[in-house]
Structure 1
């Protein structure tokens, strides 16, 4: 195949009277989007199974909360540190090929983990090293997958393509949680890793059925650092983008919720793998509900306000999580967190891609993903804090701080955010 940029597909023009449902159906009818969506769905399910297996595995290697959250922290750090360079790579090279290589790389990581666990030679620090490699691969897969969707459907279908992709992600969260919880309890961590790796192989093969390589915006080549500086300069000159990215940085607190979920399941509620799966599934149902709603009513303006507001709602949900007076209550809060988190994800993925030029999409989106991964700092700290003051108080502190900061941002910065 040629490395020339693929012409943007022509999709039917949107009309004001067209319903969200009809536009979603029309998006599915575009060439190659259906296979891409199905491929991503399989990836999302298997990735969530692998994530759950890793989280459960680490609880068997250490009893310390700080040890559990440190693994998430170091993996998040590898994603955050690699993401800026990954954004430049995504803007330079064929996205389909990057997705294929990234998925096959993760298959190798998952298979290696399974073999080491089976041989009973995997240590805690070995799992940390594996997490770093997996995080580096994920740093490329994230922006490549998101921007390839836009290349396949065209910019005038971005809202519906991204929200439909988010529905697939939500199915993956629910399905992955249900399957992962059952598999870990029924067949063990090793078989769970191998089954999920097989699914990722299938998703990698499916991406090959799409003939489009993905748009590469530049024919000339400059240094990685020059391209990075260009992307940062573009954002610095636009205060609405800067303020919206500042809201995204609150993930430094909100991101701590991920690694604390398994701690609440195992130690606070003593719910076992099935309870852990139920908590993840409730979260997934919330993400699905938000994705379906925003497919029917896609965001079209005021993205800055939406990004800050939805991040604030998620922070409030983390604060509510700390009360944890019953398992049923936690399932409701998980549902709320799923709605708020998915709403933020869609508003950010759609908003940033629509307001920046095509040649900047990979770099700006990698900034968003880098900030989203700042939770690695919170993940490391919240575990140590939980060991010192208790699980619930630690989560409460990590919910109260961003809730307050984002409320102040909306109060004093709403006019600037509204310009995005």
Structure 2
């Protein structure tokens, strides 16, 4: 089997990936349906309302991350996923029913978004770390890359299908198909051979949340990485809002063209995910280069004069965004102790997505007052400035360098920050986490 798809040789992972692919297509259909419902049915193209919906979906990541991470480390992850995926299916079916019966109101969407956010906050650290129980360590990076490929394959297919369904039948059916898609994940979890899983020993006792924070604070490399992804997640990864506003306000397009934008962006994201699946050793330098590419690509997208050029610019945007996120995800998972992986991943996801409750309403407000193009431009400026700060403070000041420390043969190299005199010679480009 090709190295890109090596993890699919493992039965449990193959079944899980199949169910996830179907569910991911449904998830992206649901996102497009929800956004179109808010923008064109429940409001008069209010980007502020859409920003609040997105913010409510991600607020629980910020508030619950330490506790949901402890849940992932304390209880069997497969059991957690059964509960969280069932809750997500229920919420999606409720919104679909309200829409199909014609009684849906904006506050209903707010309430469902918040409920889905809570369920996703529980689901995410368990789902992220469950991969390590299905595949051996040497294939973990490949499996993480394929997970990302599945997510973006759903992003490639889902928005386009949703646009066609909404234009031909209505928003309610797109939301209904999303709710039904969750049952494929539940079926895949039920079909696994549990004796072939390699569960990490659960962690019990008091002080688990505090222990997770202390572990991250003791790792300057993780702090640096999380700082970069915080800016990316808060100001750069608001495509749920930005593409909707660009399609409807800047180019005056309908649901089919809006859905197509998500699929076009997914071309770049899917390419990035497949490249990541081939990359055995994630490197921190790849994250930095990808964020630089993201800065340039989003700047170009923000000034695209036509719909076609804007759509074309989304391919490199998706490529660079997914490269940065996927490499950062693999780096974190491969470099932390298994006993705290759930808590660290929940904090990582909180950093990546937890800024969205702040960023999304702000981006929505900017869209209403400065226009849709600035919703993308702000992300480009913020990510570019974060890279400039890292470059100036950490690499060019001469006071700090990034070095590789190998604690023992059982663990991956770890980045640590080492202070040195200002007069010391400039250290060459840092070696990344292997």
Pick the aligned partner of 1:271 from 237, 246, 253: 253
Partner of 1:203: 185
Partner of 1:10: none
Paired residues in the alignment total 396
Counterpart CA distance in 2 for 1:327 and 1:79 is: 33
Seen in structure 2, the aligned counterparts of structure 1 residues 56 and 164 have a Cα distance that, compared at 3 Å, is same
TM-score calculated relative to the size of structure 2: 0.86
Residue 141 of structure 1: how far off its partner (Å):
2.0
Partner of 1:169: 151
Counterpart CA distance in 1 for 2:51 and 2:71 is: 30
Pick the aligned partner of 2:142 from 142, 160, 173: 160
Pick the aligned partner of 1:262 from 221, 244, 254: 244
Pick the aligned partner of 2:388 from 400, 404, 407: 407
Counterpart CA distance in 1 for 2:247 and 2:5 is: 39
Seen in structure 2, the aligned counterparts of structure 1 residues 327 and 143 have a Cα distance that, compared at 3 Å, is same
Pick the aligned partner of 1:346 from 316, 326, 332: 326
Seen in structure 2, the aligned counterparts of structure 1 residues 398 and 24 have a Cα distance that, compared at 3 Å, is closer
Partner of 1:389: 370
Query: Does residue 1:144 correspond to 2:144, yes or no?
Result: no
Query: Does residue 1:180 correspond to 2:162, yes or no?
Result: yes
TM-score calculated relative to the size of structure 1: 0.89
**CA displacement 1:321-374 (0-9 Å, x = unmatched):** 221311111112211111012112220221101111101111111112111111
Counterpart CA distance in 2 for 1:311 and 1:89 is: 32
Query: Does residue 1:55 correspond to 2:35, yes or no?
Result: yes
Query: Does residue 1:330 correspond to 2:313, yes or no?
Result: no
Match runs of 1:166-245 below 5 Å: 166-212=148-194, 217-219=200-202, 221-223=204-206, 226-245=207-226
Unaligned runs of 5+ residues in structure 2 are 396-400, 403-414, 416-429
Residue 39 of structure 1: how far off its partner (Å):
1.4
**CA displacement 1:361-400 (0-9 Å, x = unmatched):** 1111111211111133111111112212222134323321
Counterpart CA distance in 2 for 1:88 and 1:219 is: 10
Counterpart CA distance in 1 for 2:364 and 2:114 is: 19
Seen in structure 2, the aligned counterparts of structure 1 residues 206 and 242 have a Cα distance that, compared at 3 Å, is same
More displaced 10-residue stretch of structure 1: 100-109 or 23-32: 23-32
Counterpart CA distance in 2 for 1:83 and 1:200 is: 23
Counterpart CA distance in 1 for 2:182 and 2:91 is: 11
**CA displacement 1:12-40 (0-9 Å, x = unmatched):** xxxxxxxxx73344422123121111111
Partner of 1:118: 100
Counterpart CA distance in 1 for 2:151 and 2:202 is: 33
For the aligned residue pairs, the C-alpha RMSD in angstroms reads 2.0
Structure 2 counterpart SS, 1:328? helix
Counterpart CA distance in 1 for 2:389 and 2:75 is: 40
Counterpart CA distance in 2 for 1:216 and 1:161 is: 16
Seen in structure 2, the aligned counterparts of structure 1 residues 234 and 162 have a Cα distance that, compared at 3 Å, is same
Residue 200 of structure 1: how far off its partner (Å):
1.4
Query: Does residue 1:42 correspond to 2:19, yes or no?
Result: no
Structure 1 counterpart SS, 2:192? coil
- Tell me if the contact between 1:93 and 1:216 (Cα under 8 Å) persists in the aligned partners: no
Structure 1 counterpart SS, 2:144? helix
**CA displacement 1:111-157 (0-9 Å, x = unmatched):** 11122123332211221111000111111222222211111002111
Unaligned runs of 5+ residues in structure 1 are 1-20
Residue 219 of structure 1: how far off its partner (Å):
4.9
Partner of 1:9: none
- Tell me if the contact between 1:256 and 1:376 (Cα under 8 Å) persists in the aligned partners: no
Structure 2 counterpart SS, 1:249? helix
